[in-house]
Structure 1
């Protein structure tokens, strides 16, 4: 067992906590507009002070200043214009997103509204409207104005430029390829922060080295029960390990991140070899429970977004979107395939402190493809593409995961109705399955699967044609 050096656990969790707070803040659409509104008010205060308080407009050449009446007319026009621009923009955007979310996934609406370009666009529109409206309210005496009309005109020009950029952003973001790629990168970021940067430093390379420390009898443990039902959103693993080390206890988590936990059920169980009392409330505080799932530490939740898009595109008869999403899921799985999935977390001295409810490669494989396989069980084209993605994954996974991948490939292919497949479909299907078998080392199992399929065919002529076209490994008999 080895611990990696040159790693700052406090910095790692600060990054995760900062990301969590940022997501909580910007999940609310008002956050960025409030910041820009404050900036608009400050800009308004400066303009009024310069033009009305200090009367600086009188020192500027008359050719570039405006009189009172023209200034009010300009401000009135700009106020109505920017309000109309804001209303038109977001009405159209929400209408398009509503249609798009029904077609693909309702969760993309939240992703879009949390996007920085979306939030800043709304902020610029609201801040500009705030500035112009306040200026219109306070321009109430004769004089020469320069800063108020110039800043108002400048903000409107910025708003128009923002509008053009925002429309281009919508067109780009709503392309399915870009949308699924963004979701995949979001999942990769979660995996890197949780599995690679945070947890990987405390996992053991060899589970056998701590297996003798794992408590065997739950009856001897002390359960810490949940006070309010909800989703397990985040867990401060580093603090959990440190507090367990201080109290000299071993903790086993009863839920994994993303699970729905019911009130009064055990959140965790701890074991101790001493009679000292344990402050259970501090351990509850390290596990955040909320009404909704989020992406901060929940890789499975982010993965399910991609799965939902693939499933809906199957229902919408959009195979291209389904296939693109399948490859995005496959790419995501290849990125996390080399991460250690052992459930044991140890302290700096190598003593077991936390046992987590762990997801292994087989679980991610099932989460990523099982639902898609179910809804495409009558679609041989999509099923073949699933096998192609599995073959690509098979090339990069560790040898210990080959069995899980082969079994899932067999599980996938057995859902099809063999007797209703065209010979060419069978040929393409089994050619891909053979590649998986050769990559994972399951050629003999492939041959047995083919012969079992042939034995189940009732049409003798169809069977002869299939026997001629279906590929069989060199160890098999054609």
Structure 2
């Protein structure tokens, strides 16, 4: 049974994109150590050949050669030392990471495992241990040695240097600033790959030009159903469009990447245009469903990591970390805003509608990125002002586009404040930030109405007069 499953898994693995393959391979800690272990075996073969087969002792000065007993002592000592160093290093690091992940996000461990420095460090440790251990099996009492012990010593020195570099790397990586920056860059790569490389060439820029092709009769659609529940991990949009063009179909996706698809529910619907028979299995195979979410195409999942760090920071009374993470989310939302048009239609090269998406608009990304943080910061006026500053920055970037969703989210955030008393200084910061945003988005009248409503909640007459003096109303 195992032999039957292996070829099927290999065939499935070959069909994956390069990024999927990389995430699957390097999401485990055994791939790089195997590679380095194999390289250490090659070096072992070379050293053994030079020391035992070619009798290299004849060509090397006696002062540089090492006798059997000393060689064995060196290798035995180094074997135990490298193993102890490897165990100590990764036990300590994983203990620290476990604590850190509880404080911020359990998904930090995934980022740590995929980090190239982590992979290479473990590979060097395991490769060095493999070399010095296997060398013990090739020692000959009648021979003198040079290459075997010298390479073992060099491996140990490399291991020590790697240990120092790795500890420095961990100290830097565990700083929240660097960690969130790493998460943001990873999310930006996901957004760029999905929204630009895969979909942008096929997006319909003007939705009105293609709406006449959208099928109106839903009863004529044929459906393909989910065979096994799970998360939508990836959708092969390019091949989906090409196959739909061959079969002359229009396809509507009922789930987007990251959604949980329930068994026996419609995965997609299609409208055949005179085709006699459609191979539904090929379309089903282009949508990969798995037990867990991954970051190949799932922008929401990538955003959620940063959101979780911000929420944990708020709960831990760490406003600096929360603020920094909110800025990273804002930066990522700006990049998403600049990457693509948010239209639900994908067409082939001839302009014929092929795919109707369960599409996210920019306001949805705003909600995903900031709504949970807004909820947990609703009793903190300072963090609320920081959220408004981020929204103002986004509005500046989107000035040529529709800024209404950004203003609406700012109103939604402001009216969610649950504080009975706000000091006049805090109100001044809040209202001034809102005013700047209203000017940028062109919603000055709405700002005036919003602030008047909020002013009515001020019970202290002196506070109300002070606010009216600092922020005059009725000027719009």
TM-score, normalization: structure 1?
A: 0.94
Counterpart residue number, 1:380: 381
Whether the aligned pair in 1 keeps the contact of 2:247 and 2:278 (CA below 8 Å) is yes
Whether the aligned pair in 2 keeps the contact of 1:254 and 1:357 (CA below 8 Å) is yes
Counterpart residue number, 2:237: 237
Secondary structure in 1 aligned to 2:354?
strand
Whether the aligned pair in 1 keeps the contact of 2:66 and 2:146 (CA below 8 Å) is yes
Counterpart residue number, 1:216: 216
Shift of 1:471: 4.9
Counterpart residue number, 1:150: 150
Counterpart residue number, 2:459: 458
Shift of 1:408: 0.5
Whether the aligned pair in 2 keeps the contact of 1:220 and 1:271 (CA below 8 Å) is yes
Whether the aligned pair in 2 keeps the contact of 1:309 and 1:322 (CA below 8 Å) is yes
Secondary structure in 2 aligned to 1:288?
strand
Whether the aligned pair in 1 keeps the contact of 2:327 and 2:390 (CA below 8 Å) is yes
How does 1:308-457 map onto structure 2 within 5 Å?
308-338=308-338, 339-417=340-418, 419-457=420-458
**Runs of at least 5 residues in structure 2 that lack an aligned partner in the other structure:** 1-13
Counterpart residue number, 2:160: 160
Q: Distance in 1 between matches of 2:419 and 2:69?
A: 82
Counterpart residue number, 1:11: none
How does 1:82-161 map onto structure 2 within 5 Å?
82-161=82-161
Shift of 1:468: 2.6
Whether the aligned pair in 2 keeps the contact of 1:423 and 1:465 (CA below 8 Å) is yes
Secondary structure in 2 aligned to 1:453?
helix
Whether the aligned pair in 2 keeps the contact of 1:225 and 1:263 (CA below 8 Å) is yes
Q: 1:207 to 1:404 in 2, by over 3 A?
A: same
- Establish whether residue 40 from structure 1 lines up as the match of residue 40 from structure 2: yes
Q: 1:106 to 1:41 in 2, by over 3 A?
A: same
Shift of 1:378: 0.4
Q: Distance in 1 between matches of 2:321 and 2:92?
A: 24
Q: Distance in 2 between matches of 1:78 and 1:150?
A: 12
Q: Can you list the C-alpha shifts for 1:65-116, whole angstroms capped at 9, x where unaligned?
A: 1000000000001001101110111011101111111111110111011101
Shift of 1:255: 0.4
Counterpart residue number, 1:291: 291
Q: Distance in 2 between matches of 1:358 and 1:398?
A: 23
Whether the aligned pair in 2 keeps the contact of 1:58 and 1:144 (CA below 8 Å) is no
Whether the aligned pair in 1 keeps the contact of 2:233 and 2:290 (CA below 8 Å) is yes
Whether the aligned pair in 2 keeps the contact of 1:16 and 1:296 (CA below 8 Å) is no
Q: Distance in 2 between matches of 1:418 and 1:73?
A: 72
- Establish whether residue 185 from structure 1 lines up as the match of residue 171 from structure 2: no
Whether the aligned pair in 1 keeps the contact of 2:132 and 2:152 (CA below 8 Å) is yes
Counterpart residue number, 1:226: 226
Whether the aligned pair in 2 keeps the contact of 1:224 and 1:269 (CA below 8 Å) is yes
How does 1:243-258 map onto structure 2 within 5 Å?
243-258=243-258
Counterpart residue number, 1:5: none
Q: Distance in 1 between matches of 2:172 and 2:460?
A: 51
Whether the aligned pair in 2 keeps the contact of 1:29 and 1:119 (CA below 8 Å) is yes
Q: Distance in 1 between matches of 2:383 and 2:267?
A: 40
Shift of 1:16: 8.3
Q: Distance in 2 between matches of 1:422 and 1:48?
A: 78
Shift of 1:137: 2.4
Q: Distance in 2 between matches of 1:474 and 1:399?
A: 25
Secondary structure in 2 aligned to 1:234?
strand
Shift of 1:274: 1.3
Q: Can you list the C-alpha shifts for 1:195-218, whole angstroms capped at 9, x where unaligned?
A: 112210001111111101111232
Q: Count residues in correspondence.
A: 462
**Runs of at least 5 residues in structure 1 that lack an aligned partner in the other structure:** 1-13
Q: Distance in 2 between matches of 1:315 and 1:115?
A: 28
Q: Distance in 2 between matches of 1:407 and 1:473?
A: 21
Counterpart residue number, 2:6: none
Q: Distance in 2 between matches of 1:399 and 1:406?
A: 14
Shift of 1:423: 1.4
Counterpart residue number, 1:4: none
Counterpart residue number, 1:467: 468
Counterpart residue number, 1:10: none
Q: Distance in 2 between matches of 1:57 and 1:303?
A: 61
TM-score, normalization: structure 2?
A: 0.94
Whether the aligned pair in 2 keeps the contact of 1:427 and 1:471 (CA below 8 Å) is no
Secondary structure in 2 aligned to 1:232?
strand
